[in-house]
Amino acid sequence: MLSVLECMNCHRQYPANQVIYTCETCGGLLDLKHDMDWLRRTVTRELFDSRLGTLDFPYNSGVWRYKEMIYPDVDPAQIVSRPEGNTNLYPAPRLAQWAGVDKLYLKHEGENPTGSFKDRGMTGGLTQARVLGMKRVACASTGNTSASLAAYAAWSGIQGIVLFQNKQIALGKLAQAVAYGATCIRIAADFDRNLQLVRDISEKLDIYVLNSVNPFRLEGQKSIMIETIQQLRWRVPDWIVVPGGNLGNSSAFGKGLREMYEIGLIDRLPSLAVIQAEGANPLYRAYQTGFEKFEAVEADTVATAIKIGNPVNYPKAVRAIQWTEGVVEQVTDQQIMDAKALIDAQGIGCEPASACSLAGVKKLVESGVIKPHETVVGILTGHVLKDPDATIAYHEGLLDNIESAYPNRVFAAAPTVESLSEILSDSTLTLV
Residues that bind ligand F0G (CB under 6 A): 116, 141-145, 212, 243-250, 305-306, 351, 353-354, 381-382
CA distance 218 to 250: 10
DSSP state for residue 173 in the 8-state scheme:
H
Strands 103-108 and 89-91: antiparallel
Smallest gap, in angstroms, from Cβ of residue 136 to ligand F0G? Answer: 18
Q: With beta carbons less than 8 A apart as the criterion, state whether 167 and 143 touch.
A: no
54 in Cβ contact with 236 (< 8 Å): no
State which residue, 274 or 370, has the beta carbon closest to ligand F0G.
274
Q: How far is the CB of 249 from ligand F0G (least distance, A)?
A: 4
Nearer to ligand F0G, 263 or 361 (CB): 361
Nearer to ligand F0G, 306 or 337 (CB): 306
Smaller CB separation from ligand F0G, 81 or 176: 176
Closer to ligand F0G by CB, 3 or 249: give it.
249
Kindly write down the DSSP assignment for every residue of 266-282, as one continuous string.
-SSPPEEEEEEETTS-H
What separation in angstroms does the CA of 385 have from each of 103, 144, 233? 27, 12, 31
Task: Supply the minimum distance, in Å, between the C-beta of residue 321 and ligand F0G.
Answer: 13
CB of 191 to ligand F0G, least distance (A): 7
CB of 271 to ligand F0G, least distance (A): 17
Q: Are 253 and 224 in contact (CB under 8 A)?
A: yes
3-state secondary structure 193-255: HHHHHHHHHHHHHCCEECCCCCHHHHHHHHHHHHHHHHHCCCCCCCEEEEECCCCHHHHHHHH
Q: How far is the CB of 398 from ligand F0G (least distance, A)?
A: 22
Contact between 105 and 376 (Cβ < 8 Å): yes
> What stretch of H or E contains 185?
strand 183-187
Name the DSSP letter for residue 327. E
DSSP 82-114: S------EEE-HHHHHHHT-SEEEEEEGGGSTT
- Complex with ligand F0G: residue 128 or 212, whichever CB lies closer: 212
CB nearer to ligand F0G: give 230 or 381. Answer: 381
Q: How far is the CB of 167 from ligand F0G (least distance, A)?
A: 15
